[in-house]
């Protein structure tokens, strides 16, 4: 959504408007269908694929038919500016396999003589000489090592980049004091966590509608503007899931006669609620504590309530009833309070964690890194990953995360060769 990046720029992230980041989006992708369009790329390392309707699953097709009948428009490219409605999911996929940043960027570079890759390594903290970052403390090959560098860039993601900073003494002073970590820089690290809160309703599938194991879990999304609580365009999204669990554990075989479920989901695409990431201890191998704090803001609650009502209505459509039955303990005339209580019990994340090392105007008290992704108050240290997003975008976050890396590579003088 162009509005996301223009919002970043308006909030103090100079150089991050849609017009300014579009070249990075174009560099990173090869869009197999729309690469000729001025808002797409046709020669980048990440392939963009959309499954044709003939290859969709039963839940994909059922939700699409229900949504189109309800008046949601058809949009063949959900990454085209100004679009909304029912769309085939654009995915980074080639020949049925996901193309990761390792596949697209790292593998072709492994032969470079200026690149060293250390696998099976865990970063504890950043090393400093005064206020300048000079390296990282790493556990590898059975022991602790110090690896030095002229500039240190953390790219450990929205959960672990902040935890590395916290162990390094960069974060909220009260939290660091609780763990007796000497304060290097008082910054709101881990303070602005965001993810899209989602609710999925199981659909018990008829035998003919059950896909084979490892079938693509989703090929369809339905974006719409709720018009509620001052939200912007496409603030909400619905999705189809053809088989529950396959995306995480299709290798685990269940009983042959076990029911097979698909899912219908709705999530708050433009969310307001924010959570935190905190250290559980100073142990670098201990997982941090995430308080996602979803559906905390009244705006998110109101729009999720409306989204659930919309999803329940689509779940009663004949196209859905033809493939199975939605399993939900909510009456069609459920009250607002009943809907809200159901949402609070059942909302989960969408694996779109962002914003824990928030980028912004250095004068803004919520800022951790400046528009060049430099950690405030320190030298030689940057964070470049999903954690720097000022707010989670109205989209799945992979493409934006890769764009951030491409855009920063150019800003740092390492543009396309």
Which residues are annotated as catalytic? 352
Angstrom distances, CA of residue 288 to CA of 110, 134, 253, 383, 394? 32, 25, 31, 18, 26
- Count of CA atoms in the C-beta half-sphere (13 A) of 366: 19
CA distance 290 to 267: 19
Q: What is the DSSP string of 278-323?
A: E-S-S-TTSPPEEE--TT-SHHHHHHHHHHHHHHHHHHTSHHHHTT
CA distance 281 to 167: 9
User: Would you call 248 helix, strand, or coil by DSSP?
Assistant: helix
User: Would you call 159 helix, strand, or coil by DSSP?
Assistant: helix
The count of other CB atoms within 10 Å of the CB of residue 265 is 20
CA distance 150 to 320: 58
Nearest CA-CA partner of 62 in 247, 207, 263: 263
């Amino acid at each position: 959504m162009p509005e996301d990046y223009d919002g970043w720029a308006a909030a103090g992230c100079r150089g991050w408007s849609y017009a300014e980041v579009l070249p990075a989006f174009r560099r990173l992708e090869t869009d197999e269908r729309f690469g000729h369009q001025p808002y797409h790329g046709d020669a980048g390392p990440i392939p963009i694929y959309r499954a044709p309707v003939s290859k969709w699953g039963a839940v994909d097709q059922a939700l699409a038919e229900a949504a189109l009948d309800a008046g949601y428009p058809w949009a063949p490219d959900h990454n085209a500016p100004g679009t909304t409605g029912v769309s085939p999911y654009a995915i980074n996929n080639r020949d049925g396999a996901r193309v990761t940043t390792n596949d697209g960027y790292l593998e072709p570079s492994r032969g470079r003589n200026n690149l060293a890759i250390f696998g099976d390594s865990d970063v504890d903290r950043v090393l400093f000489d005064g206020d300048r970052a000079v390296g990282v403390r790493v556990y590898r090959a059975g022991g602790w090592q110090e690896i030095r560098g002229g500039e240190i860039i953390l790219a450990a993601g929205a959960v672990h980049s902040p935890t590395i900073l916290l162990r390094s003494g960069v974060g909220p002073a009260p939290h660091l004091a609780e763990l007796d970590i000497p304060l290097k820089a008082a910054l709101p690290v881990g303070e602005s966590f965001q993810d899209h809160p989602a609710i999925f309703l199981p659909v018990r599938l008829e035998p003919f509608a059950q896909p084979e194991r490892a079938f693509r879990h989703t090929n369809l999304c339905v974006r719409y503007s709720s018009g509620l609580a001052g939200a912007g365009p496409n603030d909400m999204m619905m999705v189809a899931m053809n088989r529950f669990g396959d995306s995480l554990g299709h290798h685990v075989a269940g009983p042959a006669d076990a029911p097979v479920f698909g899912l219908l989901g709705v999530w708050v695409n433009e969310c307001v609620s924010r959570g935190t990431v905190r250290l559980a201890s100073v142990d670098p191998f201990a997982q941090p504590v995430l308080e996602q704090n979803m559906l905390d803001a009244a705006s998110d609650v109101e729009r999720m309530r409306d989204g659930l009502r919309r999803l329940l209505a689509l779940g009663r459509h004949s196209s859905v009833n033809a493939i199975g039955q939605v399993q939900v303990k909510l009456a069609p005339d459920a009250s607002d309070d009943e809907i809200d209580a159901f949402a609070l019990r059942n909302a989960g994340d969408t694996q779109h964690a962002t914003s824990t090392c928030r980028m912004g105007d250095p004068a803004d008290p919520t800022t951790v890194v400046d528009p060049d992704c430099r950690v405030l108050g320190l030298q030689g240290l940057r964070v470049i990953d999903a954690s720097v997003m000022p707010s989670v975008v109205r989209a799945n976050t992979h493409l934006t995360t890769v764009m951030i890396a491409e855009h920063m590579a150019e800003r740092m003088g390492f543009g396309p060769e």
